[in-house]
């Protein structure tokens, strides 16, 4: 009775029985459910569980280690009274506006240029997307050198004879934040270009034929006909770039280190700094949660449309 071989035999007989009675799909379905366990665990525990955990920590007075003595929303009060936090939020707004705007404008222009049936199109595309393959750390270090006030671009232009040329933004507290946008746009403009180009290539060629017959100048076709048609692409690019901006940590670390002072600090760096280095766990967690709320506010329309599209797609 306790013979294991007997058990195996018994089970295989049962399986045969299941298969013969037409319930054979039960077993693979069960395997499919098992296969989802690792990813499901990660999603539930490491994404949503940890978000809740971070929120709970933000309600405590935790400093070096988590202590579960609740102080209500004190950490949020402290956060919003914190000057560095406001600087970093303000910087996020400035950087976000310049970076997203710059990437979209230049990316769209480059896509239009390439869309005009140029020779060696592949070469330009490869060049424009080259920085994308590099790390933000690499980008930051390169641009820190290019913008070095002593030996970089400023000195190179002065050596050409323009003695009063000034480009020392990276060491100026009131300008350092703009250097982030320059390096960021350089890195990400290729992605915007690729997305816009894909959109342009999907435009019905008859629109071009019709506009040629009507004698409408090319720039007006782009401005008044093509651009409105690409609004979903613009929307997607905007969301993607926003997601990048709000996570921006590496670039600011490598390019300016948040400085001079905290003049080019960003919220993502504020959070990491308070959690890892400053033993202000509760405050960092509060910052992280505010950051998350900002992300949710921006991406929820996108997720909504993605899921709606999904539902519509299954209809036919």
Rounded-to-integer distance, Cα 125 and Cα 104, Å: 16
Contact status, residue 220 vs residue 254, Cβ threshold 8 Å? no
| Residue of 67, 77, 276, 297 that binds another protein (CB under 8 A) | 276
Contact status, residue 287 vs residue 267, Cβ threshold 8 Å? yes
| Residue of 8, 17, 93, 156 that binds another protein (CB under 8 A) | 156
Report, in angstroms and rounded to the nearest whole number, the Rg of the chain calculated over CA atoms. 27
Strand stretches in the chain, DSSP E: none
- Determine if 13 is a binding residue for another protein (CB under 8 A): no
The one segment of 3-11, 90-98, 222-230, 252-260 that binds another protein by CB under 8 A: 252-260
169: its two tokens: 């933004």
Shortest gap between Cβ of 5 and another protein (angstroms)?
23
Contact status, residue 85 vs residue 291, Cβ threshold 8 Å? no
The one segment of 20-28, 68-76, 87-95, 169-177 that binds another protein by CB under 8 A: 20-28
Q: Which is nearer to another protein, 125 or 172 (CB)?
A: 125
Count other C-beta atoms under 10 Å from residue 254's C-beta: 19
Quick note: the x/- pattern for another protein over 117-146, rule CB under 8 A, is: -x-----xxxxxxxxxxxxxxx--xxxxxx
Shortest gap between Cβ of 297 and another protein (angstroms)?
11
Shortest gap between Cβ of 191 and another protein (angstroms)?
6
| Residue of 102, 200, 284, 286 that binds another protein (CB under 8 A) | 284
List, in order, residues 6 or more apart from 134 with CB less than 8 Å away.
187
Number of helices (H), then strands (E), belonging to the chain: the values are 17, 0
Size of the site for another protein (CB under 8 A): 96
Q: Which is nearer to another protein, 74 or 115 (CB)?
A: 115
- Helix (H) / strand (E) element for 9: namely helix 4-20
The one segment of 161-169, 171-179, 206-214, 243-251 that binds another protein by CB under 8 A: 243-251
- Hey, which residues between 208 and 227 contact another protein (CB under 8 A)? none
- Hey, which residues between 59 and 88 contact another protein (CB under 8 A)? 66
List, in order, residues 6 or more apart from 283 with CB less than 8 Å away.
75, 78, 79, 82, 274
- Determine if 286 is a binding residue for another protein (CB under 8 A): no
Residue tagged 């006030």 (tokens): 149
Contact status, residue 63 vs residue 283, Cβ threshold 8 Å? no
Q: Which is nearer to another protein, 87 or 136 (CB)?
A: 136
Shortest gap between Cβ of 232 and another protein (angstroms)?
13
Shortest gap between Cβ of 2 and another protein (angstroms)?
30
Contact status, residue 141 vs residue 131, Cβ threshold 8 Å? no
Q: Which is nearer to another protein, 35 or 77 (CB)?
A: 35
| Residue of 181, 221, 230, 253 that binds another protein (CB under 8 A) | 253
Shortest gap between Cβ of 154 and another protein (angstroms)?
10
Q: Which is nearer to another protein, 57 or 200 (CB)?
A: 57
The one segment of 8-16, 45-53, 80-88, 221-229 that binds another protein by CB under 8 A: 45-53
Q: For the stretch 49-69, what's the b/e string if a residue is b when 16 or more beta carbons lie within 10 angstroms of its beta carbon?
A: eeeeebeebbbbebeeeeeee
- Determine if 172 is a binding residue for another protein (CB under 8 A): no
Sign, Cα dihedral of 136, 140, 141, 143 = positive
């Amino acid at each position: 009775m306790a013979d294991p071989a007997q058990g195996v035999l018994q089970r295989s007989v049962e399986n045969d029985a299941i298969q013969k009675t037409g319930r054979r799909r039960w077993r693979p379905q069960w395997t499919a459910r098992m296969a989802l366990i690792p990813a499901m665990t990660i999603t539930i525990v490491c994404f949503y569980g940890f978000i809740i955990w971070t929120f709970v920590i933000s309600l405590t007075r935790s400093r070096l280690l988590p202590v579960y003595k609740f102080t209500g929303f004190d950490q949020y009060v402290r956060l919003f009274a914190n000057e560095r936090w406001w600087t970093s939020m303000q910087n996020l707004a400035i950087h976000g506006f310049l970076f997203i705007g710059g990437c979209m404008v230049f990316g769209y222009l480059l896509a239009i240029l390439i869309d005009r049936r140029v020779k060696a199109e592949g070469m330009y595309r490869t060049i424009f997307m080259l920085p994308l393959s590099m790390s933000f750390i690499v980008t930051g270090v390169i641009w820190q050198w290019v913008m070095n006030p002593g030996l970089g671009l400023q000195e190179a232009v002065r050596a050409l004879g323009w003695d009063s040329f000034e480009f020392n933004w990276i060491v100026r507290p009131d300008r350092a934040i703009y250097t982030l946008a320059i390096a960021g746009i350089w890195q990400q403009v290729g992605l915007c270009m690729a997305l816009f180009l894909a959109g342009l290539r999907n435009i019905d060629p008859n629109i071009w034929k019709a506009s040629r017959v009507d004698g409408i100048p090319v720039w007006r076709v782009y401005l008044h006909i093509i651009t409105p048609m690409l609004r979903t692409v613009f929307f997607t690019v905007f969301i993607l770039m926003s997601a990048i901006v709000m996570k921006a940590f590496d670039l600011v670390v490598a390019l300016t280190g948040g400085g001079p002072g905290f003049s080019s600090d960003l919220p993502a760096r504020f959070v990491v700094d308070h959690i890892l280095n400053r033993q202000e766990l509760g405050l960092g967690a509060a910052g992280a949660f505010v950051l998350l709320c900002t992300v949710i506010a921006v991406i929820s329309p996108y997720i909504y449309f993605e899921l709606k599209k999904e539902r519509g797609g299954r209809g036919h």
